[in-house]
Amino acid sequence: MTVRGVHALPPRRPLRRLFAAVGDTTLGGLRGAATFAALAATVVLAGLRRSTWRPLVRLELRRVLHGVTVRALGTTIVASVLLGFALVTQAAYWLAATGQTGLIGTIIVLVLVREIAPILVGLIVLGRSGTATLIELGEARPKGWLRLMEMQGLDPVACLIMPRALGFAVGAFCLATILITSTLLAGYLVAHAIGLVAYSLWDFAGVVLQAMGPRDFVLPPLKCLAIGFFVGLVCCAIGLARREEGDDLQRVVPRGFVRSAIAILLVNGLFDLAL
């Protein structure tokens, strides 16, 4: 090797380091995605096995469902009243102004049922129950009770993750149903009160239902289930990944919140492709 050859090597190093950094980040991301996909598959398969549904798991699911659905009922109804006032009233007003009142059902289905309700419910579930899960499970390993559960032969997937993921999924579906119904009701009442619509509540409901195609009865509910499931799963995965108290909860919770929000938008986007 010549002296010139030796001196020719250093300029390549920053480039190699750049490639190495990009490669490490990419591989790390892929590994994380693969691990998360494996966890999702494990939870789904465990949920399909009858033997998983032991009394303790059923109790935990009931507790999670109560937390996700019943405790978020007030928030959901307040949000739906505000949304009804803003969305339905505005739609009725502007469609009436442009002489397109016949499109109100289509607009409501497109905007409320397909888009806003799943995302808003995902955010409500994330804000109320997801952050609580992040804190709760974020303490499981550092405080030692995850080890304690394993000592007692309690499978964390069956006892902690699966009830939360499925509870969040069913809870999101229930909340979305309540949100859509109460948004339509609140919107109609406000629009009717200020004279924007003249027809009855049943006619209004009929207009909305007629605007819905068969896929609108299948895909939006599935979207809500998927959003709830992934919010629950992301919160569980990030919470349980906290290994020691040095990893501050104040960093774990925002990390979980951001990733769950990304999951909500990602699932929403994927379902929009199908719709």
Partner 1 sequence: MAASGAPAILSLQGVAFADRRAAPSCRIDLELGRGDAAVVEVDAADTAASLVDLCLGLVDPPAGAARFLDHDWRGLSPGERFAARSRIGSVVQSQVWPTHLSIAESILAPRLYHRDRTPDQAAAEATALARTFGLPGVPAGQRDATAAGELVRAACVRAFLGAPALVVVQDPALDAMAALGVAMAQAVAAVQDRGGAVLWIIGPEGAPAARFVQPGQALRLGDRGLAPMRRSP
Contact by Cβ (8 Å): 89, 191: yes
Q: Which is nearer to partner 1, 158 or 267 (CB)?
A: 158
Greatest alpha-carbon pair distance for the chain in Å reads: 91
CB of 12 or CB of 49, closer to partner 1: 49
Q: Does the protein bind partner 1 through residue 144 (CB under 8 A)?
A: yes
Question: Nearest-CA neighbor of 168 among 272, 256, 49?
Answer: 256
Ramachandran quadrant class, 155 (left: phi over 0; alpha: psi -120 to 50; beta: rest): beta
Q: Determine which residue in the list 16, 17, 62, 147 makes contact with partner 1, applying CB under 8 A.
A: 147
Mark the segment that binds partner 1 (CB under 8 A) among 2-10, 48-56, 89-97, 217-225. Answer: 48-56
What is d(CA 196, CA 87) in angstroms, rounded to the nearest whole number? 13
159 counts as binding partner 1 under rule CB under 8 A: yes
Residues 111-140 close enough to bind partner 1 by CB under 8 A: 136, 139-140
Nearer to partner 1, 150 or 203 (CB): 150
Among 2, 98, 152, 250, binds partner 1 (CB under 8 A): 152
Q: CA dihedral defined by 185, 191, 195, 199, rounded to 10 degrees? A: -40
158 lies in the binding site for partner 1 (CB under 8 A):
yes
DSSP string, 179-210: HHHHHHHHHHHHHHHTTS--S-HHHHHHHHHH
For residue 143, state whether it binds partner 1 (rule: CB under 8 A). Answer: yes
What three-state secondary structure class fits 218? coil
Q: Is 74 helix (H, G, I), strand (E, B) or coil?
A: helix
Q: Which of residues 49-68 bind partner 1 (CB under 8 A)?
A: 54-57, 59, 63
| One residue of 33, 70, 150, 243 binding partner 1 per CB under 8 A | 150
Restricted to residues 211-240, the positions that interact with partner 1 (CB under 8 A) are none
Angle between helix 249-274 and helix 219-241 axes, rounded to 10 deg: 160
Measured from the CB of residue 148, what is the shortest distance to partner 1 in angstroms? 6
Whole-angstrom distance, CA of residue 208 vs CA of residue 265: 25
> Measured from the CB of residue 127, what is the shortest distance to partner 1 in angstroms?
19
Closest separation in Å from C-beta 67 to partner 1? 9
**Residues at the site binding partner 1, with contacts judged by CB under 8 A:** 54-57, 59, 63, 136, 139-140, 143-145, 147-155, 158-159
